[in-house]
């Protein structure tokens, strides 16, 4: 896989994590790519953990 191809898939990871509807073949390509690309798997997991960490802030007092 080229870096450019990975970058194109990674641009959709946020939408995919949020359950946003992607065009059918686009969504299928992202899922397939995640199944076969270990680098993108790491990126996807990291992005998901980032989003989950943000959710933890909801009822927490921010530090001054």
Partner 1 sequence: MLQKRVAAISEQAVRELEPVLYRFALRATRDADLSRDLTQEALLAALAQQDRFAGRSSLRTWVVGILSHKVLDHFRRRTLQPSGDDPMLLAAPSAEDVERVVAARQELSAVERGLAKLPELERMALLMTDVEGVPRQDCCNALGVTATHLRVLLHRGRNRLRRMLEDDR
Residues that bind partner 1 (CB under 8 A): 3, 6-7, 10-11, 13-15, 18, 20, 39-40, 42-43, 45-47, 49-64
- The CB-of-63 to partner 1 minimum distance in angstroms stands at 5
Helix, coil or strand: residue 35: helix
Angle between helices 3-10 and 24-36 (to 10 degrees): 120
- The CB-of-20 to partner 1 minimum distance in angstroms stands at 8
Name the DSSP letter for residue 61. Answer: P
Whichever of 23 and 55 has its CB closer to partner 1, that residue is 55
Q: How many CB atoms lie within 10 A of CB 10?
A: 19
């Amino acid at each position: 896989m080229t870096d450019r191809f990975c970058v194109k898939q990674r641009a959709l990871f946020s939408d995919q994590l949020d359950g946003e509807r992607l065009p059918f073949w686009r969504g299928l390509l992202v899922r397939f790519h995640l199944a076969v690309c270990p680098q993108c798997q790491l990126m996807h997991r990291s992005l998901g953990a980032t989003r989950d960490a943000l959710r933890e802030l909801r009822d927490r007092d921010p530090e001054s």
